[in-house]
């Protein structure tokens, strides 16, 4: 009888040990599963890049922050009629002397666009580069997009056009473009810039010395935005403010506004503004169309991708 009781007690202890082991194993397994679930839940979701801040490369007279995707070839026509002040005599500038630029660009790699263009005024041939430095994301980590745009333009006018040396024909433009897509329909942008001309006009002062009429370098800042009315139509606006004070011939600001129409592969902009030069350094340096005197002109941009 004592042997049976001892054997039962031993079995009872064995069963208890097995139950404790199974309980401990189950608790550990549950804890591991719970930790894995928490880790998966807390793992940060990669922020997506904001797309289509603007409809294309241009807003009226300025570059946008956009750089087309790799492999994109683009052809652009920019046209500016004469000022509207003469009224019906030249049909509000339509039949007045106009300016036009033909531009071609290509994106060989992601974020980098290279281009070339020819502008009627001053017969400028320009080469340009555009590189996306930072792209806005849906999170607050990157709230804006930043792109660099620069060009070098060469006047191909005859040598008698005030050029002593070949380098006198060259001008440069540098711009840092900062933009944000605020909502689905509203995008805004600010763009400080530097324009530089190797050669500027001069005059002979009363003491007989020759002095420049303008500085070689010119700083400016541009503000622009787009608001989409529908999927394909938007209101666009642009303001350019000169910052540099020159000895003479200080340029006037530019105010422009219009409509943008988008289709698959095309962008068309129709607008009213003060700039006529099209080339950015020419616009910033030499604009004498004063908006206070209502010296506006009609212009359009057509882009084909």
The pair of three-digit structure tokens given for residue 108, joined into one six-digit string? 């060989």
- Please indicate, yes or no, whether residues 69 and 193 belong to a single structural domain of this protein: yes
Assign 124 a pLDDT band (cuts: 50, 70, 90). very high
What is the CATH number for 222?
Answer: 2.40.160.40
Q: Are residues 293 and 248 in the same domain?
A: yes
Annotate the chain with three-state secondary structure: CHHHHHHHHHHHHHHHHHHHHHHHHHHHHHHHHHHHHHHHHHCCCCCCECCCCCCCCEECCEECCCCCCCCCEEEEEEEEEEEHHHHHHHCCCCCCCCEEEEEEEEEEECCEEEEEEEECHHHEEEEEEEEEEECCECCCCCCCEEEEEEEEEEECCCCCCCCCCHHHHEEEEEEEEEEEECCCCEEEEEEEEEEEECCCCEEECCCCCEEECCCCEEEEEEEEEEEECCCCEEEEEEEEEECCCCCCCCCCCEEEEEEEEEECCEEEEEEEECCCCCCHHHHHHHCCCCHHHCCCEEEEEEEEC
Alpha-carbon span 9 to 18, nearest angstrom: 14
- Is residue 221 in a domain? yes
Q: Is the pLDDT confidence value at 217 over 80?
A: yes
Residue 50 in domain: no
What is the count of structural domains for the chain?
A: 2
Q: Answer yes or no: do 113 and 87 share one domain.
A: yes
pLDDT tier at 44 (50, 70, 90 boundaries)?
low
Please check whether residues 155 and 6 belong to one and the same domain: no
In-domain check, residue 48: no
> Which pLDDT band, with edges at 50, 70 and 90, does 305 fall under?
confident
Query: Do both 153 and 285 map to the same domain?
Result: yes
Q: How many CB atoms lie within 10 A of CB 254?
A: 24
The answer to whether residues 290 and 232 belong to one domain is: yes
Mean pLDDT score, 116-136: 97
Q: Are residues 31 and 63 in the same domain?
A: no
Shared domain for 35 and 155, answered yes or no, is no
What CA dihedral angle connects 229, 132, 274 and 255, to 10 degrees?
A: 60
Q: Which residues of 167-191 are buried (b: 16+ CB within 10 A; e: fewer)?
A: ebbbbbbebebbbbbeeeeebbbeb
Q: Classify residue 51: in a domain, yes or no.
A: no
Same domain, 28 and 99: no
Residue 118 lies in a domain: yes
Distance CA 260, CA 227 (A): 10
The widest CA-to-CA distance across the chain, in whole angstroms, is 137
Q: Is residue 123 part of a domain?
A: yes
Domain range spanning residue 35? Answer: 1-43
Tokens of 76: 């652009």
Residues 21 and 93 in one domain: no
Q: What confidence category does residue 28 fall into, taking pLDDT thresholds of 50, 70 and 90?
A: very low
Tell me, what's the pLDDT at 135? 96
Determine, yes or no, domain membership for 241.
Answer: yes
| Same domain assignment for residues 156 and 32 | no
pLDDT tens-digit series, residues 223-272: 999 999 999 999 999 999 999 999 999 999 999 999 999 988 899 999 99
Asked if pLDDT for residue 155 goes beyond 80, the answer is: yes
Q: Is 119 in the same domain as 214?
A: yes
- What does the pLDDT read at residue 163? 83
Instruction: Render pLDDT for 256-266 as a digit per residue (tens, 0 to 9).
Output: 999 999 988 89
Q: Is residue 180 part of a domain?
A: yes
Q: Which two tokens stand for residue 24?
A: 């401990």
**Residue with tokens 């006198």, as numbered in its chain:** 168
């Amino acid at each position: 009888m004592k042997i049976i009781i001892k054997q039962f007690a031993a079995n009872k202890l064995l069963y208890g040990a097995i139950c404790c082991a199974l309980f401990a194993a189950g608790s550990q397994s549950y804890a591991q599963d719970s930790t894995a679930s928490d880790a998966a839940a807390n793992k940060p979701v990669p922020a997506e890049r904001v797309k289509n801040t603007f409809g294309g490369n241009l807003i009226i007279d300025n570059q946008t922050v956009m750089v087309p995707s790799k492999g994109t070839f683009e052809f652009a026509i920019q046209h500016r009629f004469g000022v509207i002040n003469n009224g019906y005599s030249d049909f509000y500038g339509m039949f007045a002397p106009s300016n036009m630029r033909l531009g071609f660009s290509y994106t060989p790699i992601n974020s980098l666009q290279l281009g070339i263009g020819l502008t009627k005024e001053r017969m400028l041939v320009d080469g340009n580069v555009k590189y996306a430095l930072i792209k806005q994301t849906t999170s607050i980590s990157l709230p804006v997009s930043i792109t660099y745009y620069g060009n070098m333009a060469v006047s191909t006018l005859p040598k008698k056009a005030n050029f002593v040396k070949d380098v006198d024909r060259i001008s440069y433009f540098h711009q840092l473009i900062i933009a944000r897509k605020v909502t689905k329909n509203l995008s805004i942008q600010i763009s400080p810039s530097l324009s530089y001309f190797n050669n500027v006009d001069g005059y002979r002062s009363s003491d007989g010395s020759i002095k420049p009429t303008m500085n070689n370098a010119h700083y400016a800042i541009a503000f622009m935005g787009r608001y989409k009315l529908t999927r394909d139509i938007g209101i666009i606006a642009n303001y350019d403010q000169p910052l540099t004070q020159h000895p003479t011939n200080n340029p006037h600001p530019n105010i422009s506004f219009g409509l943008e129409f988008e289709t698959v592969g095309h962008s068309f902009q129709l607008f009213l503004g003060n700039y006529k030069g099209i080339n950015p350094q020419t616009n910033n340096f030499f604009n004498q169309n004063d908006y206070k005197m209502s010296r506006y002109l009609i212009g359009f941009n057509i882009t084909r991708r």
